[in-house]
Amino acid sequence: MVDENKLIGMAYAEHMTDHYRRASEELLYAYQRNKEAARHHEAGAFRAALHHAKLSKHHSFNAHEHLKDVMALAEKIDAVKPSCEVSRTPPGSCGIQ
């Protein structure tokens, strides 16, 4: 049972790590598209600037969704994790390490 809980915890951690990685990639893409939009705007190419701004918004939204998924997973882990009493358990013995 303990091994099973550890495997489940590791699976959650891997899944969360994947979401964090994807969110960071999406934020990088959003930043790059935003810079491109600024360049086009300065050059007077307003339609191209708008296009890149929309893409930046899309990537930002995707990053937000990945972070929402991470928060949902963290709440699930907290709900399943056994409660710890400070006076009875040694430090670091509760939670996923």
Q: What is the pLDDT of residues 54-77, one digit of tens each?
A: 999 999 999 999 999 999 988 988
24 in a domain, yes or no?
Answer: yes
Distance, in Å, from the CA atom of 40 to the CA atom of 45, rounded to the nearest integer, reads 5
58 in a domain, yes or no?
Answer: yes
Using the predicted structure, report yes or no on whether residue 91 has a pLDDT greater than 80: no
Residue 83 has a pLDDT of 54
61 in a domain, yes or no?
Answer: yes
Total of domains in the chain: 1
Supply 11's token pair.
């699976």
- The residue-averaged pLDDT of 2-6 equals 80
18 in a domain, yes or no?
Answer: yes
Using the predicted structure, report yes or no on whether residue 89 has a pLDDT greater than 80: no
Confidence of residue 88 (pLDDT cuts 50, 70, 90): very low
Residue 77 has a pLDDT of 83
Residue 8 has a pLDDT of 81
* Domain span holding position 49: 2-80
